[in-house]
Amino acid sequence: MESQLPAEFIVNVDHDRCRKCKRCVTNCSFSAIEFRDKVLPNHKQCVACHRCSTLCPESAITITENPLQFKDGYNWTPEIRKNIMKQAESGGIILTGMGNPKPYPIYWDHMLIDACQVTNPSIDPLREPMELRTYLGAKPDMLEFEGEGSNINLKTELSPQVKLDIPVVFAAMSYGAISLNAHKALAIAAKRMGTLMNTGEGGLHKDLAGYTDSIVVQVASGRFGVTSKYLNNSAMVEIKIGQGAKPGIGGHLPGEKVDEDISRTRMIPVGTDALSPAPHHDIYSIEDLSQLIYAIKETTDYKKPVSVKIAAVHNVAAIASGIVRAGADVVMIDGFRGGTGAAPMIIRDHVGIPIELALAAVDDRLREEGIRNRASILVGGSIRQSADVVKAIALGADACVIGTASLIAIGCRVCQKCYTGNCAWGIATQKSELVRRLNAEYAADRLCNLLTAWGHEIKEVLGSLGINSIESLRGSRERLRGVGLSQETLDILGIKHAGIGQ
Amino acid sequence: MKCDGIPSGCAISGMMSEEGKRIDGSAIIRSIACMHDRSNGLGGGFAAYGIYPRRRDMYAFHMMYDNAQAKENTEEFFYKYFNIDKDEAIPTRKQKGVANPPILWRYFLEVPVNKLESRSERDYVSNAVMKINSDIEGSYVASSGKNMGAFKGVGYPEDIGEFYKLEEYSAYIWTSHGRFPTNTPGWWGGAHPFTLLDWSVVHNGEISSYGINKRYLEMFGYKLELRTDTEVIAYLFDLLVRSHKLPVEKAVQALAATFWKDIDRMEPQQKKIATALRQVYGSALLNGPFSIIIGHNRGVIGLNDRIKLRPMTAARKDDMLYMASEESAIREIAPDLDEVWSPRAGTPVFGTLRPEVE
C-alpha cells in the first residue's frame, strides 16, 4: 500500500557548500540520502539520527522538522493522526524504541536539594575526602562481635556484597538489542570505573570473559545463554521479571538479527526469532520466584547477590516487599520512562508509573516493615543527569541504573529506531558494517568521562550538603524539597514543600 | 510545646572522676560560664551521674510539664506502668535570666516484673519514654536513667545551673551545654543534654545526616518527636550499644566511620570489621560538624566528627578527665593539668570508671 504519511523530517543540503564527497550517502543507514549528480535527500526515510550532519566535512547538512502544517487540533494532534494513518496502512501494532517521550510530569524536576549555610559548614570536595563507595547486597539487622578488648572478632557473616566506586551502574541491555562493540564498551568502562554493566537477557559473549567481576548476568524469561558457568562468571545475578518500557510483556529479537555469534551466545539456532515470554513459565507466584532465587543461590554457592528486576507498576511497593521476603538481595525498579530496543508504543507510552513515586513508595514500605536493610534498591527508568542520581539516592535508592544516558554518551541520538536494526551509530544493530563504526575503546573512554563527570558533580552536591559520604544522603529525604507539587504527591515522595524549614 | 528544628552553635564541657569521686556542681557551672559567648541565652543544661545513690536502682524520671493537666495525665501513665517509690518537685531557686519554667518534677520508678512480658526492663522503660514524649500533650521526659539526671532549660547555662541549685548535688560525671540556636524560640525540652535511659548527650554542632539517621532509628521503633538532631545521637548509642550490644568502641567507629581510604590500608581482620560496620551501619553514620560528650553510668565518651569541624580539647589531671569546646573552660576549673590535647577527628576519648568502683 502506498504510504500517505508525510516525512517527519526534512534534510536540507547546502549545495553551495557540498563538495560531493558522498560521505553522507555511505553513512546514512536509513537510505535517506542518495547521490544522483548531487546529494539528494529522501526525506521520508530520515529519522534525524544526525549521522550525515555530524560527519559532513563541510557542515552542509541540516535537518529540520517537517514544517508541514496540520489543521490545528488540541485533541487530534498530528502525532495521533499519523499513527492512525500508519495503522490503516499496516494493520499492525506500532513499534518503537527508547523510552516514553510523552509529557508526563518529571518529578525529578520538581525536587530541589538543600545546602549548608553558616550553622553547618559545607565541605570542599577538592580538599576533603568525599566518599561515594556503595555496597550492593543484603545487610543483616545488626552485627555481632565476640571476644574482648583488642581481640574482638566479627561473629556475623555478611552475605555477598558487590562494591561500587560510584553509585551508578549500566542498565541491562542485551547483546542482540545492542552490538557487541557497545557491550564491550560498557564492560571496559564498568571495570575501569569500579561499577557494573549488565548483560541483559542475551547471554554473555566469550569476548567479555575478562570482565566478569564487573558484570551482572541476567536471567530472563527466555533463559538465553543461561548455564551454571554463566551464572558463576559474574559479580551478581539478576532475574528479570519486568522492564519499565514494557511492563507485563515479553521480548522479541527478530531472526534476522540472530547471526552466528548471537546464536552461540544465546544458545539458539541462527536466524530463529528469540522470543522472551511475557512471564517466566516457571514463575506464576511469589513462591515460584523464591525457588528460582534459591536455585540460583545454590548454583552460585551463595557467593553472588541475586537481584530481581521489576517494572514500576501500581502495586510496586507490595511487590517489592514480597521480592525481598522471597530472598532477593537487590531489588531493581525500572520506571515507566525506561528505555527499550523495541516495544509496542501503546505499552511504552501508557503503562507503568514514574520511578520517583515508585522508589519513594518502595523505600517507605520496606522501612515500615523493618526490612529495608535486607535488600539494596537500584532504580532506573530515565536517570538523565547526576542531579537525578542525587535525588534518587536522597529518596532512598542505593544506586542508579543508566541505559539511555550511557548510549547517548557513545553516540546515540535517541531517534527511537532501535527496533529497525539500522542504527547508524553502530549501537542498536548487528550489521557488521554498522557495528564497526563503534570503536569499543573510544566509546569506553566516553563512558568513563561521563561517570567521572557525574562523580565530581555528586561530590560537589555532597559537599554543599555538608556531608562527606554517600550513605549520609541515602534516604535522607529531609534534604529535598518539592516545588509545584500537590500535597498528595509530596506525601508519597515523603518530602516537604519548598519554604518549609526543618 | 514541641518546637521546630534547632541548628545550634554552642559550648560543651564535661568532667569525670574515674575513681568515682563525687564532685559538686559548682565547678562545672564555672567551666561552662567561661564560654558564655558561645551561647545566646536560649538554652543551657547539665547531666550528672551518681546523684541519687540512695535510689541508685530506680529509674529517676526528670519531667517537664507545660501544665497541670499534662502532669496529671503522665502520673496516670506512671501509676499504670510503674511502681512509684517517690515523687517530688525538682528543687529550684528564683534566678535572674530564667523565666517561665515548666512544672519540673521527678519520680523514682521501679518496673513491676509482671508487666515486662518478654521485653527487657530497659526496652520497657525506653518504650515508656517514647510514649510519653509522643503521646502525652505538654509532657516531656528530661531524663530517665538510674542514679543520674538532666537539668536543663531556657537561659544561659550558668543561670540554669544556679536555678537548679546544682551546688547541692554531687556527681562523678558532669556534662554541660550552652546553646546558640539560630532559629528557634526558646523551649525547655529543646535544651541539651538529650537523654534516654542512662545515655546523655551534649552536642556542639549540627548533624547534617539527621534525615537518614532519623529514618533509620524509626525502623527500630524509636520515635523522634523533638525534631532536633542531638536526639538521634542519644538514640543511636542506645540502639547500637544497648540493643545491638556492640562494643562501645565499635559503636563509636560506626557513628564516626573510618574513611574508606584508611580502611583499605588496614590489616585484614580490622578491615573486615571496619567494612562491615560501614556496610551495616551506614545509615547510623553521623555526618556534619559535631563535638559531643556522651555520658553513661560507667563513663564518658568524647567524640568529634570525621573531619573535626567543631572544636574539642581534652585534658587529664590525676583521675580526672576533662573535655570542653575550649581549653580555657578546663583551665578555669583545673589550671594545673597533667596532659592537654586536641583529640583527632573521629577519634574517641574514653573516660571509664575504674572496675573496682561500684
Which domain covers residue A77, as residue numbers?
9-92
Task: Say if A124 falls within a structural domain.
Answer: no
The answer to whether residue A232 neighbours chain B at the CB level (below 8 Å) is no
Kindly list the structural domains of chain B, giving each domain's residue range(s) and its CATH number in brackets, ordered by start.
11-352 (3.60.20.10)
* CATH number of the domain residue A449 falls in: 3.20.20.70
SS3 assignment, position A332: strand
Any domain includes A142: no
Whether residues A85 and A183 share a domain: the answer is no
Nearest residue to A385 (alpha-carbon basis) of A456, A323, A317: A456
Do A441 and A321 reside in the same domain of the chain? yes
Contact A123/B at CB under 8 A:
yes
Q: Is the pTM of this model over 0.90?
A: yes
Q: What's the Cα-to-Cα distance from A113 to each of A397, A425, A479, B322, rounded to whole Å?
A: 16, 36, 6, 40
Using a CB-CB cut-off of 8 Å, the residues of chain A touching B307 are 123, 128-129, 468
Domain total for chain A?
Answer: 2
Q: Is residue A129 part of a domain?
A: no
Q: What is the amino acid identity at position B256?
A: A
Note whether residue A59 is domain-resident.
Answer: yes
Which of A75, A92, A109 is the last residue in one of the domains?
A92
Look up residue B196 and give its three cell numbers: 534516654
Query: Are A83 and A187 in a shared domain?
Result: no
Q: What is the CATH number of the domain that holds A87?
A: 3.30.70.20
| Catalytic one of B6, B10, B125, B329 | B10
In a domain, A432, yes or no: yes
Q: Which residue of A has its CA nearest to B280?
A: A139
Alpha-carbon distance of A188 to A225, in angstroms, equals: 21
Chain B positions touching A156 (Cβ under 8 A) are: 276, 280
Question: What's residue B179's pLDDT?
Answer: 84
Final residue of a structural domain among A37, A59, A92: A92
Classify residue A340: in a domain, yes or no. yes
**C-alpha span between A373 and B193 (Å, rounded):** 31
**Chain A residue closest to B269 (CA)?**
A153
The 8-class DSSP code of residue B82 comes to -
pLDDT at B182: 62
Single residue among A92, A125, A141 that ends a domain in this structure? A92
φ and ψ at B118, to 5 degrees?
A: -95, 0
Measured CA to CA in angstroms, residue A125 lies from A264, A456, B212 at distances of 47, 8, 21
Q: Is B341 on the interface with A (CB under 8 A)?
A: no
Whole-angstrom CA distances from A22 to A33, A90, A435, B18 are 9, 33, 20, 88
SS (H, E, C) A356-405: HHHHHHHHHHHHHCCCHHHCEEEEECCCCCHHHHHHHHHHCCCEEEECHH
Q: Is position B34 annotated as part of the catalytic site?
A: no
Q: Are A362 and A474 contained in the same domain?
A: yes
Q: Is B32 exposed, middle or buried (0-12, 13-18, 19+ CB in 10 A)?
A: buried
Structural contact between residues B307 and B278, judged by C-beta atoms closer than 8 angstroms: no
User: In this structure, are A80 and A180 located in the same domain?
Assistant: no
Return the sign of the alpha-carbon dihedral for residues B98, B102, B107, B112. negative
Under an 8 A CB cutoff, do A161 and B206 touch? no
Q: Is the ipTM of this complex over 0.90?
A: yes
* Per-residue pLDDT tens digits of chain B, which is 358 residues long: 333 334 445 899 999 999 999 999 999 999 999 998 888 888 899 999 999 999 999 999 999 999 999 999 999 999 999 999 999 999 999 999 899 999 999 999 999 988 887 788 999 999 999 999 999 999 999 999 999 999 999 999 999 999 999 999 999 999 999 988 765 566 888 888 999 999 999 998 888 999 999 999 999 999 887 667 888 998 999 999 999 999 999 999 999 999 999 999 999 999 999 999 999 999 999 999 999 999 999 999 999 999 998 999 999 999 999 999 999 999 999 999 999 999 999 999 999 999 988 7
Q: Pull the grid cell for residue B351.
A: 573516660
Task: Match 509496542 to its residue by C-alpha cell.
Answer: A344
Measure the CA–CA gap between A295 and A298, rounded to whole angstroms. 5
